[in-house]
Amino acid sequence: MTRTWPTNLATDEGVLAWEFLDFLRKTAVMKVDGLTRDQAAAAPIPTSPKLTALGVLKHLIAVERYWLGIAGAGLDLPSLWEGNPDPSWNLTDDDTPESLIQTYREEWSNAEELKKLDPDATAADGERTVRWILAHVAQETARHVGHLDLLRELADGQTGE
């Protein structure tokens, strides 16, 4: 997977926002790729027992599904957040770095419908603009990429952007 920085001399805010989200998505994948299942499922921070690399990736899948697919584009998809507390952090025996990376990448295709809309358009939920949803997902993804930075370093010592 190739990850490139968005264009430095960007002139289209909408394109730039999607480029940054793509950059962050690929960074999240890079942080999980190459970990063993045990490393990726480890919860090394005692006060955060669900904070695992796989849990973060699974949560990001749910974030994309809800915000970009359901609330944003109005796609008829099941939410991955059904339940309380938020079940998107829970791991199953079938969750591996490979399976969740594949699922995350597949989820990106749902966002293609939202890309077709003008950033100032009202999203399918009728409560926000497309621009707001995109900014929200970018900030959420960036925050969790920071968690993945720490989890990767604790798992195998790998650091870097």
The answer to whether residue 54 sits within a structural domain is yes
The answer to whether residue 140 sits within a structural domain is yes
103 contact partners, CB below 8 Å, separation of at least 6? 61
The answer to whether residue 69 sits within a structural domain is yes
The answer to whether residue 90 sits within a structural domain is yes
Q: Which CATH number does the domain housing residue 75 bear?
A: 1.20.120.450
How many distinct structural domains can be found in the chain?
A: 1
What pLDDT is stored for residue 76 in this prediction?
97
Domain span including residue 128: 13-156
What pLDDT is stored for residue 129 in this prediction?
97
* Chain segment 122-160, per-residue pLDDT in tens: 999 999 999 999 999 999 999 999 999 999 999 999 887
The answer to whether residue 44 sits within a structural domain is yes
Q: What are the start-end ranges of the H helices in the chain?
A: 13-32, 37-41, 53-63, 97-108, 112-115, 130-156
The answer to whether residue 5 sits within a structural domain is no
The answer to whether residue 2 sits within a structural domain is no
What pLDDT is stored for residue 2 in this prediction?
82
- Helix/strand/coil percent split, the chain, to 5: 60, 0, 40
Contact (Cβ atoms closer than 8 angstroms) between residue 80 and residue 122:
no
Give phi and psi for 130, each to the nearest 5.
-60, -40
The answer to whether residue 1 sits within a structural domain is no
Give phi and psi for 70, each to the nearest 5.
-85, -65
List, run by run, the mean pLDDT of 10-residue segments along the chain (161 residues).
Answer: 83 90 97 97 95 98 97 96 87 97 96 93 97 97 97 92 71
What pLDDT is stored for residue 85 in this prediction?
84
